[in-house]
Structure 1
Amino acid sequence: MIQSAITVSLVEEARGGPFVFWDGIADACEHASNLGFDAIEIFAPSHDTVDRAELKGLLEKFNLNVAAVGTGAGMVKHGLNLTDPDQSRRESAKDFIRQMIDFGGEFNAPAIIGSMQGRWGGDLSRNDALSLLAEALNELGEYAAKKNVPLIYEPLNRYETNLITTIADGVEFLKTLSTKNVKLLADLFHMNIEEADLAEAIRSGRGYIGHVHFVDSNRQATGRGHMDFAPIAAAMIETEFDGYASAEAFPIPDSRTTAEKTIEAFQTYFRS
């Protein structure tokens, strides 16, 4: 069954970015629970900035799960990525992600690799960058398997990466990996830029999609842009996607309204 989730950012350097809640995990859990969400998705500065005992208590109190944990702070705060030409910096990037995998694993939540994938350019060719990315995902995917969680890889739009930008290309890339523990994140905002047909793209990712960012064309809450969600939701159901549809959205006009719009749309498309 598809479940609902909503994002909370604890990274001050990313303030103004596409995360719904910004006032701490307790605040996010209370609002998410009151509105009927199943889980929260956490964007944290590092693995050790969240008090595990406190988080466990909040999840129990509000009957929530952790849908996923983001790793983007590794790029935002430290400038780390997996395709850096400097080997020592690549190793630092992998260490950061391993620590986030450890954090997420305590809550049965996968880590997401988005901006930390990096890009190619300069002396680094696209083929070499993809080789470095494959090497890292193979290593990190197997590390995540030891924690009994998948690793989530996110194709981004052309303005944020020049590596993998579509679901179909993501599927082909995953097929080249030796690990089978990496899944794709289908972010509807990025897909709105890169895909000719979002529903068909979802179908092309059948069996490979492990997480969905459920947002509209303008990266606001579902229903506040021009995206037609009916065929997209139908494709998610048809392909038997059973992960989280998570709102990684700008809090426009505010966090509460964004959350309300999201859960209303979720109920319309997946519970009616």
Structure 2
Amino acid sequence: MKLGIHAYAWCSEWSDATIGLIDRTAGLELDFIEIPLMTLDRFDPAAVKKRLADAGLDAVTSTVLLRGTDITSPDADVRANGIAYLKDCVRATAAMGLTSFSGVVYAEHVKETNDRPTAREWELAAEGLREAAKIGQEYGVLIGLEPVNRYESNLINTCEQALALKRMIGEPNIRLHLDTYHMNIEEKSFYGATKAAGGDLIHYHLCENDRGIPGTGLVDWNSIFKALGELDYRGYAALESFVDTTDNMKTWVWRQLAPDGDTLVREGVAYIRGLMRKYGLQS
């Protein structure tokens, strides 16, 4: 398993000014950094690619769709904006020399609605992602669907639902991205959901139930790593704990979840590495 860290452990957005986090991540002897693509216009993908190569570090990318880019919107212009944005994310991922892009890419993150999703919204999500997936195939990029909790999406909350959408899309480069923070709310079993993802799993967010330091809360880490061990999972897994609120997506960090980002990373990484050793998942 490749162990990494989300850049939001230290910053509230990714830009040219935060490129030094690549070296910080490499110094922690992690395998990769997760780069958020919420602000595509604030960094140079070529510079990131070079910095990653110089540091000997791998990376993945992720994002969420916001109101103006909802590919399930009844507004055709908004859907077109969303599809164009997803394609830009795929191209930026490839321009950095990377192959894994994932997140809440199927509908607006934190959509204001009191309704269950309609069959039409499912169809629109599949149609939009089918277009993005075809571009991904041209660039050699996999696209991971990340289920999130009911307060952040009314469309995809569970692994089972993500698998259903993957089948509707019908493209070979669509995969799954699980997140323990959301699983803690929506899944019946950490173990069962992880095993259900199986060979489609390309990314895993390792988050405590309060997004604090892994191992300090309620998440059933042994069930998760038992399943990952049985899958012989060799994909990406990143600590995703936020240290601040952001202007570009909702993180809801209203209190200090760790003394600072470095403490969160150091203690969280030590805990996860212990589980990796226990279940035969050393990178």
- TM-score interval for Structure 1 and Structure 2 normalised by the shorter chain: 0.7 to 0.9
- 1:122 CA drift (Å): 7.8
Amino acid at match of 1:221: I
1:39 aligns with 2:28: no
Question: Secondary structure at the residue paired with 2:178?
Answer: strand
- 1:121 CA drift (Å): 5.0
Q: Is the 8 A contact 2:35 2:62 kept in 1?
A: yes
Q: How does 1:144-183 map to 2 (within 5 A)?
A: 144-183=136-175
The farther-off stretch of 121-130 and 219-228 is 121-130
Q: How does 1:1-272 map to 2 (within 5 A)?
A: 2-8=1-7, 19-22=8-11, 24-66=17-59, 68-72=60-64, 74-75=65-66, 79-106=68-95, 107-114=97-104, 117-118=107-108, 121=113, 126-251=118-243, 252-253=257-258, 254-272=260-278
- 1:96 CA drift (Å): 0.9
Q: CA separation in 2, counterparts of 1:124 and 1:159?
A: 12
Amino acid at match of 1:230: N
Q: Is the 8 A contact 1:85 1:124 kept in 2?
A: no
- 1:270 CA drift (Å): 1.4
- 1:148 CA drift (Å): 0.8
The farther-off stretch of 123-132 and 262-271 is 123-132
The farther-off stretch of 147-156 and 53-62 is 53-62
Change (3 A) 1:123 1:157: closer
Q: TM-score scaled by structure 2?
A: 0.83
- 1:269 CA drift (Å): 1.4
Amino acid at match of 1:186: L
- 1:203 CA drift (Å): 0.8
Task: Please give the root-mean-square deviation of Cα atoms over the aligned residues, in Å.
Answer: 2.2
The farther-off stretch of 113-122 and 50-59 is 113-122
Q: CA separation in 1, counterparts of 2:107 and 2:265?
A: 29
Amino acid at match of 2:156: I
Q: CA separation in 1, counterparts of 2:116 and 2:208?
A: 34
- Number of residue pairs matched by the alignment: 257
Q: Is the 8 A contact 2:206 2:214 kept in 1?
A: yes
- 1:171 CA drift (Å): 1.5
Q: CA separation in 1, counterparts of 2:177 and 2:206?
A: 11
- 1:263 CA drift (Å): 1.6
Question: Secondary structure at the residue paired with 2:40?
Answer: coil
Q: CA separation in 2, counterparts of 1:113 and 1:267?
A: 24
Q: Could you tell me which runs of 5 or more consecutive residues in structure 1 were left unpaired when the two chains were aligned.
A: 9-18
Give the % identical residues. Answer: 25
Q: Is the 8 A contact 1:25 1:55 kept in 2?
A: no
Question: Secondary structure at the residue paired with 2:68?
Answer: coil
Change (3 A) 1:123 1:246: closer
Q: Is the 8 A contact 2:147 2:158 kept in 1?
A: yes
